[in-house]
Amino acid sequence: MIRSLAVAVSVIAAGPTGTAGTAGTLGVRRSGGTSCPDAPRTEAEVARARAIARSLRQAESRSADDPKAGDRELPTELTRARLDAIAVARDPDAREARLYATLALAAHHLAQQRREPAIALVDPIVAVTIGELPINLYGPELVAFVAERRAALAKREVGTLDVACTHACQAVVEGVVMGCAGPDAPLHVQMPSGRWHIVVFDPIVPSHSISTDVDLVGGGAAKLHLGGRAGEGGSGAGADASARRLPRWAGILGISAGAALMIAGSILVGVDGQCPDRATDGPNPCDRLLNTGGIGYGLLAGGAAISIGFAIPLGIGETRLRRRGRR
């Protein structure tokens, strides 16, 4: 996901409307904005969204039979969905799969008496979802927990997210589409105070985007502005895209893959020369020793090369973006 350094993010003391800062009710309130432009998705984006939805549903299904699999797979697939938030936001099936997987993981945390990670998963959903949640599918414990978190969030003061764009843009808060803003039609979203993940993107050029966490202050307003596209005065997220040769999500995945290979290699090096089965007959306690050193060192070298190969362009892109932000 490409993050624009031309974005203006600020927090001010007073909200733009009289209702900002009022606690006791829960629910997103939207005002302003404009109609979203008709922007067909590319085949690649559709394919990515379908793959994410399929993986989320498979992970959720496996977690029902194997809780340990849920611990491993659900966080991984939800992270993958977060890294490709625009493709997920623009696909109804992927959005639904993300919601169900999140609720399944929250229910699993509660079953293991892990409240804090469950709160981290449930609060964003409760804060931004308009309508009922399918929590009955995951047992009475999650139903009661959601009611508890709903009451807790209702006690928070309300803040306002103000989104403005040089061109029409779409705002997504914690995976939920809030609407579109235009050059002369800013979008105002009132919601409970807290830290929320915001994605703002140009539907015509989805890579022209902002992806950031915003600390919304009760009674205050956080302002986000998506600037012009590449070639329009050299500013905006599109211009920043030219500085980044590798998307951030690709760099992170590449580094993670390299690290996984290095871990596997270190394990193989560690067991090299050891006996795989001490129950063998014969004068020696072990007639056959593991010969995994060569493969292990190969994986270590390959993993290091992959991690470095992705880390260098990722680091260069980040440095260029920071330098542009200071100009």
The pLDDT of residue 14: 31
Q: Are 230 and 243 in contact (CB under 8 A)?
A: no
Residue 147: pLDDT band with limits 50, 70, 90: very high
What is the Cα–Cα distance from 133 to 144, expressed in whole angstroms?
A: 13
Strand boundaries in 147-192, DSSP class E: 158-165, 169-173, 176-181, 187-192
Q: Which of 2-6, 40-44, 140-144 has the highest mean pLDDT?
A: 140-144
Tokens of 236: 């905006």
Task: Tell me, rounded to whole angstroms, the distance of Cα 317 from its chain centroid.
Answer: 20
The yes-or-no verdict on residue 86 having pLDDT over 50 is yes
Over residues 202-257, the pLDDT tens digits come to 888 888 888 888 888 888 888 888 887 755 544 444 444 444 556 776 778 878 88
Tokens of 100: 């169900």
The pLDDT of residue 282: 54
pLDDT above 90 covers what percent of the chain?
Answer: 24
Q: Are 159 and 216 in contact (CB under 8 A)?
A: yes
Cβ neighbour number for residue 5 with a 10 Å cutoff: 20
Of residues 128 and 20, more confidence is placed in: 128
Of residues 296 and 244, more confidence is placed in: 296
The pLDDT of residue 242: 45
Phi, psi of 216 (to 5 degrees): -90, 120
The pLDDT of residue 97: 94
